[in-house]
Structure 1
């Protein structure tokens, strides 16, 4: 049975993605979940604490995607890294091309709320670190040039992906995501 806290967080995943932080009304969340206001404040001290816990849940899903793709022994390391982004693209499709919740919240809040800026940057750091490990393996196996910098490449991949996710959201179309993947992975494998 789903707990009240879990119902609120699950609804928060969708509502924060669709509306962002500033337009997320607690009343709308309570109405959607059928949870009384007192129950919300029993589980969360504030809207900020709630949103930070939603981010934590979102990252659980991101790590599952990283595990599924980067841990796939049937793929080469470079294809495992690309697979993570392909799985993310599929999730974006299911969500109506709303993009990455971290990217959206980062754009909305990073200049005005240091708590969110730090949390989101930590989350991006976790993703790039895991991708960089996979890219290091790709470099060792000769899929990438020997002078490649896996961490730099992982950061570049994530930065380009977040920009493509924004364009995909604006257009409600996966084409920017597809073009980014094709271009970046093709460029990464070229000898320098």
Structure 2
């Protein structure tokens, strides 16, 4: 629960950036929604860009918590833990009305026009992929995926497929593309081992 003005602004920013994107994010609408004076916004953030970058950092805190929960579940196999992360993410998307991944949305909107956002978003995807790759390395050692598989490459492929499915899910406002991506990818991984 947001307790400080900065926290309230960042929490509102999560929803507004997901819903409206960066270019349609109005600072006035943000201030009105959070009942915050304009001076308070600029006390905490130097610009709209600084604000959006800090919202990305806040979003990544949520993603890291999801990774911790899923990848740290000792009741699941390593491959099961990797799938569980995507299932938990799908549930979050459902709660948000299938608006998809904020990183993917902002990446599509800004990566071609703003190098700062492109670098930050790619770094975030790298963090996620790295965590999944560690889990897939364990899956490789346990024989769940082929011994000659490259866990980092597989993690990147999973994330890339997921982001494409998230876009389609957003377009359709339906979990179908996410479900089919998970079923296909994880059944293919176990058939190959």
Cα displacement (A) at 1:115: 0.2
Helix, strand or coil at the partner of 2:192 = coil
* 1:28-43 correspondence runs (5 A): 28-43=29-44
Q: CA RMSD, aligned part only?
A: 0.9
Scaled by the length of structure 2, the TM-score of the pair is 0.98
Tell me the alpha carbon deviations over residues 71-104 of structure 1, each in whole angstroms, 9 at most, x when there is no partner: 0000000000000000000000000000000000
Aligned position for 2:181: 180
Asked if structure 2 preserves the Cα contact closer than 8 Å seen for 1:110 and 1:117, the reply is: yes
Tell me the alpha carbon deviations over residues 48-84 of structure 1, each in whole angstroms, 9 at most, x when there is no partner: 0000000000000000000000000000000000000
Any unmatched runs of 5+ in structure 2? none
Alpha-carbon separation, structure 2, partners of 1:191 and 1:34: 55
Q: Does 1:4 align with 2:9?
A: no
Any unmatched runs of 5+ in structure 1? none
Alpha-carbon separation, structure 1, partners of 2:74 and 2:192: 25
* 1:36-51 correspondence runs (5 A): 36-51=37-52
* 1:134-145 correspondence runs (5 A): 134-145=135-146
Aligned position for 1:100: 101
Cα displacement (A) at 1:190: 2.3
Alpha-carbon separation, structure 1, partners of 2:150 and 2:3: 44
* 1:9-88 correspondence runs (5 A): 9-88=10-89
**Which 4+ runs in 1 deviate beyond 4 A?**
none
Cα displacement (A) at 1:110: 0.1
